[in-house]
């Protein structure tokens, strides 16, 4: 059986491995020159246990828990190897409550207590394993004064996985899998599903068009997923161009999330520190079926894909503003050198940005696999839930095949 997987990010890469493990021949398409080059590697790697979604509904928090508590086991299953999670995981996050937070510390404490209770209830089904170890709680609901800022701070069990290290492990595993053929610099432009297969059309790096027919296709595209399969989601999606900085590792840096607006993160990975200050890091916010050409141009400018001295100065100023904001809070040292600006496009729901109380971005409950004929489109919007979404997508093919046999 031939399966096309569109999109070589974390979701598509894991789906391809699960499909190959079933003995299917897989073609993995990605428009970039390398797999796992976009948002999958340009993020802090947080494996969400739920506290950043304190403004969201209970369904969102349950989806995050299901994704987080299966993250390590599903990736090990996909890669057919054990992972030393302690070697690629950050220290636990501390949540610092900003003075302009959408919820104050007492309100957050109530919600965190509720999350702990939901975790206790779900742990009988899901277990307590999280990134290779057992967790007893999600968030300590008793705040204390943060030593750097003086603001209220909550200790959590939440950690981040180094996305660079994780993507390297996945890339190596895919390269060793004979059943996966990788088609890089191939942009899929159309998916036409039917009852007996899916016609996949693409253009290569030279603009030459071609197409092929596959028994099934899995639409794991990131920015263009809804454009390729409009029936898989209602309305449009929220697209944000977000930047961050990577700094050489230094003693004394912490792992902190700033909540609940203005947002920011400092994450101490083994080989570098990730830092982002959302008021400057977020460059644009759009709503539609795909990001605009202007959004991609802005991302290209941030990622040094061409440009002049003016663009170089703009990039340096963008990095400097984020560093300065985090230094002002005491979360980065005063002598920071070697900053590397990174970025990607974040996908979510609704037209309003995350710093608004009514924003739909506080909810991520939409999850699962949409099936149209033999086209499967996973609904997934977070790194945390990508392995679980990939597993569900391939299970949807299993179910379709079983239905075909029974018929």
pLDDT digits (tens, 9 = 90+) for 226-237: 999 998 877 899
Question: In degrees, to the nearest 5, what angle opens at C-alpha 166 toward C-alphas 162 and 167?
Answer: 115
Mean pLDDT value across residues 247-254: 78
Confirm if 83 and 75 have CB atoms less than 8 A apart: yes
Which element (helix H / strand E) includes 214? strand 209-214
Q: What is the pLDDT of residue 365?
A: 87
Q: Residue 335's pLDDT is what? A: 83
Average pLDDT score over residue span 245-267: 89
Asked, for residue 252, whether it belongs to a domain, the answer is yes
In a domain, 372, yes or no: yes
CATH number of residue 383's parent domain: 3.50.50.60
CA distance 149 to 151: 5
* Alpha carbon of residue 256 to chain centroid: 18
HSE-CB of 78 using CA atoms within 13 angstroms:
33
pLDDT of residue 405 exceeding 50, the answer is no
* pLDDT value for 15: 98
* Candidate from 59-63, 216-220, 252-256 with smallest mean pLDDT: 252-256
pLDDT higher than 60, residue 406: no
What's the pLDDT score for residue 407? 32
Residue 264 and residue 190 share a domain: no
Instruction: Give the pair of three-digit tokens for residue 367.
Output: 């999850």
Closest CA to 28 of 174, 163, 169: 174
Residue 169 · residue 45 · CB < 8 Å: no
Q: Around 64, how many Cα atoms within 13 Å sit in the side-chain half-sphere?
A: 24
57 lies in some domain: no
For residue 93, being part of any structural domain is answered with no
Regarding predicted confidence, which is higher, 366 or 14? Answer: 14
Asked if 354 and 347 count as a contact pair (C-beta separation under 8 A), the reply is: no
Residue 61 CB neighbours (<10 A) = 26
Query: Is 391 found in the same domain as 254?
Result: no
**CA nearest 13: which of 154, 184, 145, 147?**
184
Q: What is the percent of the chain where pLDDT is above 70? A: 98
Average pLDDT, rounded, for the chain: 94
Look at residue 101 and tell me whether its pLDDT is greater than 70: yes
Give the separation between CA 94 and CA 255, rounded to whole angstroms.
Answer: 6
The pLDDT value given to residue 364: 87
pLDDT-based confidence at residue 404 (cuts at 50, 70, 90): low
Q: Is residue 279 part of a domain?
A: yes
Q: Which of 323, 348, 373 is the last residue of a domain?
A: 348
Same domain, 174 and 216: yes
- On whether both 293 and 268 belong to a single domain, the answer is yes
Integer-rounded Cα Rg, in Å, for the chain is 21
Q: How many domains does the chain have?
A: 2
Same domain assignment for residues 265 and 286: yes
Domain match, 179 and 316 both: no
Mean pLDDT of 372-379: 95
In a domain, 79, yes or no: no
**Are 207 and 264 contained in the same domain?**
no
Q: Is 239:223 a contact under the CB 8 Å cutoff?
A: yes
Query: Which pair of tokens denotes residue 77?
Result: 């299953």
How do 144-145 and 152-155 pair as beta strands? Answer: antiparallel
**Is 251 in the same domain as 399?**
no
The whole domain housing 26 covers 1-45+162-235+362-407
Is 102 part of any domain? no
Q: Which helix (H) or strand (E) holds 226?
A: helix 225-228
The string of pLDDT tens digits covering residues 179-220 is: 999 999 999 999 999 889 999 999 999 999 999 999 999 999
Are 230 and 217 within one domain? yes
pLDDT beyond 90 at 3: yes
Q: How many CA atoms lie within 13 A of 384 on its CB side?
A: 25
The label of the residue with tokens 């309003």 reads 352
For residue 25 the two structure tokens come to 């021949």
Q: What is the pLDDT of residues 127-163, one digit of tens each?
A: 999 999 999 999 999 999 999 999 999 999 999 999 9
The confidence score (pLDDT) of residue 361 equals: 92
24-42 pLDDT, tens digit each: 999 999 999 999 998 999 9
Q: Are residues 258 and 344 in the same domain?
A: yes
* Mean pLDDT in residue range 283-300: 95
Confirm if 199 and 192 have CB atoms less than 8 A apart: yes
- Do 242 and 340 reside in the same domain of the chain? yes
Whether 308 has a pLDDT exceeding 90, the answer reads: no
pLDDT of 393 over the 50 cut: yes
Say if residue 386 is in the same domain as residue 321.
Answer: no
Q: 77 lies in a domain?
A: no
């Amino acid at each position: 059986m031939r399966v096309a997987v569109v999109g070589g990010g974390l979701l598509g890469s894991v789906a391809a491995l699960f499909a190959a493990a079933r003995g299917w021949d897989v073609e993995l398409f990605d428009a970039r020159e390398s797999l796992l080059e976009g948002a999958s590697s340009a993020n802090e790697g947080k494996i969400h246990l739920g506290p950043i979604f304190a403004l969201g509904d209970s369904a969102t928090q349950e989806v995050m828990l299901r994704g987080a508590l299966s993250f390590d086991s599903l990736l090990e299953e996909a890669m057919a190897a054990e992972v030393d999670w302690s070697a690629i995981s950050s220290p636990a996050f501390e949540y610092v409550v900003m003075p302009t937070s959408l919820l104050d510390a007492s309100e957050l404490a109530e919600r965190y207590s509720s999350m702990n209770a939901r975790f206790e209830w779900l742990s009988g089904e899901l277990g307590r394993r999280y990134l290779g170890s057992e967790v007893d709680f999600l968030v300590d609901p008793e705040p204390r004064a943060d030593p750097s800022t003086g603001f209220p701070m909550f200790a959590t069990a939440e950690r981040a996985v180094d996305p660079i290290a994780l993507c390297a492990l996945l890339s190596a595993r895919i390269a060793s899998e004979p059943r996966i053929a990788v088609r890089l610099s191939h942009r899929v432009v159309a998916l036409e599903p039917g009852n007996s297969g899916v016609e996949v059309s693409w253009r290569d790096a030279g603009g030459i068009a071609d197409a092929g027919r596959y028994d099934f296709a899995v639409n794991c595209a990131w920015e263009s997923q809804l454009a390729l399969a409009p029936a898989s989601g209602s309305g449009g999606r929220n697209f944000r161009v977000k930047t961050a900085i990577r700094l050489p590792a230094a003693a004394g840096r912490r792992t902190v999330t700033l909540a609940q607006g203005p947002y920011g993160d400092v994450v101490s990975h083994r080989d570098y520190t990730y830092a982002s200050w959302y008021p400057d890091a977020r460059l644009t916010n759009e709503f539609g079926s795909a990001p605009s050409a202007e959004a991609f141009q802005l991302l290209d400018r941030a990622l040094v894909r061409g440009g002049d001295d003016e663009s170089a100065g703009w990039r340096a100023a963008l990095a400097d503003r984020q560093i300065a904001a985090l230094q002002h809070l005491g979360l980065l040292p005063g002598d920071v050198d070697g900053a590397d600006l990174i970025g990607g496009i974040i996908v979510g729901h609704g037209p309003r940005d995350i710093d608004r109380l009514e924003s739909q971005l506080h909810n991520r409950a939409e999850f699962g696999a949409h099936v149209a004929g033999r086209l499967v489109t996973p609904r997934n919007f977070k790194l945390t839930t990508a392995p679980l979404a990939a597993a569900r997508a391939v299970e949807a093919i299993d179910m379709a095949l079983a239905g075909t046999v029974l018929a």
